[in-house]
Amino acid sequence: MTYKFGFIGAGNMGGALLTAAANGNPSEKFAVYDVFEEKAKCFGEKYENVTVTSLDTLVKESEYIFIGVKPQMLAELFSDIAPLFNECDPVIVSMAAGTSIEKLCTLSGKEMPVIRIMPNTPALIGEGVILYCNNAAVSDSQVDFFVNAMSGAGLLDRIDENKIDAASAVSGCGPAFAYMFIEALADGAVECGVPRDKAMMYAAKMLSGSADMVLKTGNHPGALKDAVCSPGGTTIAGVHALEDGGFRSAAMNAVTSAYKRTLELK
């Protein structure tokens, strides 16, 4: 094979993973194709190990093929590439929401080796979460290579396929919820007189540090919250205000709504 990885689709998510993979594996060769050629060209110009190719060349010459198109575009894409699988047997790596491994094999016209992933955009800076599962057609060595090659993107965690849609409603959709929270906190600080740039920095760093506290201490977030809330103090007053606004209920509804939408996409 000419290329270790081929990326079909260089949008926000596909581009983030290509960036992480190209940076983390400078000795490997990558191919990229996008219907919007300018998107692909940006990566070809930025990285010496990334080549812009035709769709046919990418499929025939790549060992791992990352599918980074919208779920509603899969049928059209596979109608073009499935006939090529008679000449090659790449590992399909799909990030299409709500699309099962079984469905991908059906679209391929045969039992292909498939790794299904649900990544998030912080993979662009090496701080992402990539959930993954695979079928039996993928060998252990292929899975191990994939995990090692993508480790620069952040945390890779195997999960049963019947849990991946629910889990991605947190890890995949969650960054948008977190950005909204940071923006809202910064807006509140601005209203209180803090300059916008400092308000944004404080809110983002606070959220990052708080997340690290949960991960590194292993303590329940409720206990960590209680440790900040002094009796009759400022923090508990703010917590009360969040509860009045239905904060936790809204956060739970955001996750369950995202999950329900994923099921609809199926």
Task: State which fold the 3-160 domain adopts.
Answer: Rossmann fold (3.40.50)
Handedness of CA 216, 222, 223, 227 (dihedral sign): positive
Indicate left, alpha or beta for 193 from its phi (over 0: left) and psi (-120 to 50: alpha).
Answer: left
How sure is the predictor about 237, in pLDDT bands with cuts at 50, 70 and 90? Answer: very high
Q: How far apart are CA 118 and CA 96, in angstroms?
A: 8
| CATH 3.40.50.720 placement within the chain | 3-160
Cβ neighbours for 199, distance < 8 A, ≥ 6 positions apart = 185, 186, 187, 189, 190
Q: What is the mean pLDDT of residues 228-251?
A: 98
Residue 130, H or E segment:
strand 128-134
Residues of the chain with CATH 1.10.3730.10: 174-265
Whether the per-residue pLDDT at 1 is higher than 90: the answer is no
pLDDT digits (tens, 9 = 90+) for 85-130: 999 999 999 999 889 999 999 999 999 999 999 999 999 999 999 9
Helix (H) or strand (E) holding 107: helix 101-108
pLDDT of residue 265: 77
Q: How far apart are CA 208 and CA 79, in angstroms?
A: 43
Confidence category of residue 248, pLDDT binned at 50, 70, 90: very high
pLDDT in the model for residue 204: 98
User: Mind listing the pLDDT tens digit for each residue in 180-222?
Assistant: 999 999 999 999 999 999 999 999 999 999 999 999 999 999 9
Adjacent-strand bridge partners of 154: 128
**Which CATH class for the 174-265 domain?**
mainly alpha
The pLDDT of residue 138 is: 98
Amino acid 266: pLDDT: 74
Count how many Cα atoms sit within 13 Å of the Cα of residue 199 in the half-sphere of its side chain: 16
Helix (H) or strand (E) holding 52: strand 50-52
- Work out the number of other CB atoms within 10 angstroms of the CB of residue 215: 9
More confident residue, 97 or 133: 133
pTM score, whole prediction: 0.92
pLDDT at 250: 98
Cα separations (Å) of 252 from 151, 165, 168, 207, 261? 29, 15, 14, 18, 14
User: What residues does 129 pair with on adjacent strands?
Assistant: 155
Strand order through the sheet with 50-52: 50-52, 30-33, 3-8, 62-67, 91-94, 114-118, 128-134, 154-158
